[in-house]
Structure 1
Amino acid sequence: MSTGVDTEAGSAVMETYRRLNDALRRGVFPAGGRLPGERDLAGSLGVSRSTLRHALARLADEGKLERSAQRGWFVARSVVGEPPSTLQSFSEMARARGLTPTSEILRRHERPAGFEEAEQLGIAPAARVLELRRLRSLDGVPVCLDTSVVVLSQAAALADMDLTDRSLYETLERECGIRIARSSYTVRADAADEEIARFLQIEPGAPVLVGEEVTYADDGTPILSGRMIYRSDAYRFQADLFRPI
């Protein structure tokens, strides 16, 4: 027979579990990182260490946490992915998970925009754009082939800038005064051709995820279009979906 104390204790564990699970989902604790000590964590949550341990154990059972008897609790390393409903650059997403992002410039040139690009970006056909193709890696492992097309009239400072190992979103904000606010993003499955397979170090025909986006500044102006090809064994895309009320 359950008692009122048992019910209250169970509710406290469940609430603690929900709060910790939400923090993990939002990337408050990066993948592979160590959580604060139990005493400090329990204090910040306002619960007993017993309640905290039950909540931590449940998260460990779900594969979200790992425990070291000597070192404490750690966030499980998992396939890298974008947090739900959060627009992050590749570099921001990597650093939030304790990974080191790098990029190799494969192609960089200024050229006239094509008709489809001009329509996507709200510019005149043949307006000048910067095309940037990069191989993006995490901790030295190639993960993504990224091709970005940027409107030069909006971001002229990029023309002469070394963009190796730099986040385009962060560079646009710091150097051009452009704050990226949202992205129209689609994802589809495909198979790697020989060139993609060579760069991503996978077998030809292996599955890849292709993301295509148009990114907008906070005033609604289209700034860049992009095409990202990810190894499917190293990337996943998440999103929160809501039904209209």
Structure 2
Amino acid sequence: MLAMNGAIYDIPPKDCAAEGILWLIDDGGYRPGDRLPPERELCERIGVSRTALRSAIAVLVSRGVLESRQGSGTYLRPAKPVNVFQNTYSFSSVVRAAGLVPSSRTIYAKTVSADSVAARELAVEEGSPLFELQRVRSAGGEPVSIETTRVDIVRFPGLDAFDFDAHGLFDVLREEYGVDFVHGFERISITRLNGREAELMGVEEGAPALFQRSRSSTADRVPVESCRAVLLPGGYRFASNGAYDGLALHVGEDWLRSL
């Protein structure tokens, strides 16, 4: 039962079962790849029916928390990286917070001329030189996104000399150029992978994906980086820090893991 404003609501059995499974995982110290107890034992320990348990497992499988293996049982899947809207930490830090190892593969790094969209996003003149970097980003050895990033090369001379397979772009901008990222803006839509994207990600052409447009700025609202990314929906989770007007807030790793 859940009480709100004096009224009492019944919590659906599958939701009770799902919360029970998550509690059991946390309380039992289960790690990615561990097998959960058999259904009968889970029902007894959580106090739910087998029907509710199976519905809850299906929900958690769809969320990428669990994996059902035919004839073997139910297993805890590795955590997914969490992209928190408004926050501007790097891909690598997000992946490490999920307990996974980040890696990148550069597709190309080149100088391009700012078109009208990029000029507006980065507050430069149309035709100005920009550093454009495209990478396949992986978590735990599995590709999760293709990112195409643009930065004002005039403001950050020498940026094109770094090896971005070995160094994160945000890390370089912070450590080498003293950039303090404070504001972040994102827009998410649905798309399907074209042939080139599918080949880079190792999936079938036409597979559903998320398309993300983002921009990161300093405390005084000076834009630093604009990015376009296609992301595999099974490789990410998304959340909001609840801040107003794109303000980045500190988000603890424990909270990221709990989502």
* Cα displacement (A) at 1:61: 1.9
**Alpha-carbon distance in 2 for matches of 1:239, 1:212:** 16
Change (3 A) 1:163 1:155: same
User: Is this contact kept in 1: 2:86–2:243, CA < 8 A?
Assistant: no
* Cα displacement (A) at 1:80: 2.7
**Alpha-carbon distance in 2 for matches of 1:136, 1:182:** 22
Name the amino acid aligned to 2:156. A
Change (3 A) 1:183 1:160: same
- Residue of structure 2 equivalent to 1:8: none
Change (3 A) 1:242 1:131: closer
Change (3 A) 1:117 1:164: same
- Between 95-104 and 161-170, report the one with greater CA deviation: 161-170
- Residue of structure 1 equivalent to 2:51: none
How many residues get paired?
A: 185
Change (3 A) 1:199 1:158: same
* Cα displacement (A) at 1:181: 1.2
Name the amino acid aligned to 1:124. E
Q: Is the counterpart of residue 63 in structure 1 residue 22 in structure 2?
A: yes
**Alpha-carbon distance in 2 for matches of 1:84, 1:128:** 28
Q: Is the counterpart of residue 92 in structure 1 residue 51 in structure 2?
A: no
- Residue of structure 2 equivalent to 1:148: 149
Sequence identity of aligned pairs in percent? Answer: 23
| Residue-by-residue CA offset, 1:150-180 (whole Å, 9 max, x unaligned) | 1112221312121213221111000111111
- What secondary structure, in the 3-state scheme, does the structure 2 residue paired with 1:94 have? helix
- Superposed CA RMSD in Å reads 2.7
- Residue of structure 1 equivalent to 2:118: 117
**Alpha-carbon distance in 1 for matches of 2:24, 2:133:** 38
Change (3 A) 1:225 1:67: closer
User: Is this contact kept in 1: 2:129–2:154, CA < 8 A?
Assistant: yes
- Residue of structure 1 equivalent to 2:195: 194
- What secondary structure, in the 3-state scheme, does the structure 1 residue paired with 2:79 have? coil
Change (3 A) 1:83 1:111: closer
Unaligned runs of 5+ in 1: 1-57
User: Is this contact kept in 1: 2:190–2:210, CA < 8 A?
Assistant: yes
**Structure 1 residues 32-181: aligned runs within 5 Å:** 61-63=20-22, 66=25, 72=29, 77-83=78-84, 86-181=87-182
Name the amino acid aligned to 2:88. L
**Alpha-carbon distance in 2 for matches of 1:242, 1:170:** 23
User: Is this contact kept in 2: 1:60–1:67, CA < 8 A?
Assistant: no
**Alpha-carbon distance in 2 for matches of 1:120, 1:81:** 25
| Residue-by-residue CA offset, 1:74-119 (whole Å, 9 max, x unaligned) | 5863333224653321111001111111101101101221111111
**Alpha-carbon distance in 1 for matches of 2:231, 2:150:** 18
Change (3 A) 1:138 1:67: same
- What secondary structure, in the 3-state scheme, does the structure 2 residue paired with 1:169 have? helix
* Cα displacement (A) at 1:183: 1.4
* Cα displacement (A) at 1:191: 0.9
User: Is this contact kept in 1: 2:86–2:184, CA < 8 A?
Assistant: no
- Between 161-170 and 194-203, report the one with greater CA deviation: 161-170
**Alpha-carbon distance in 2 for matches of 1:242, 1:176:** 27
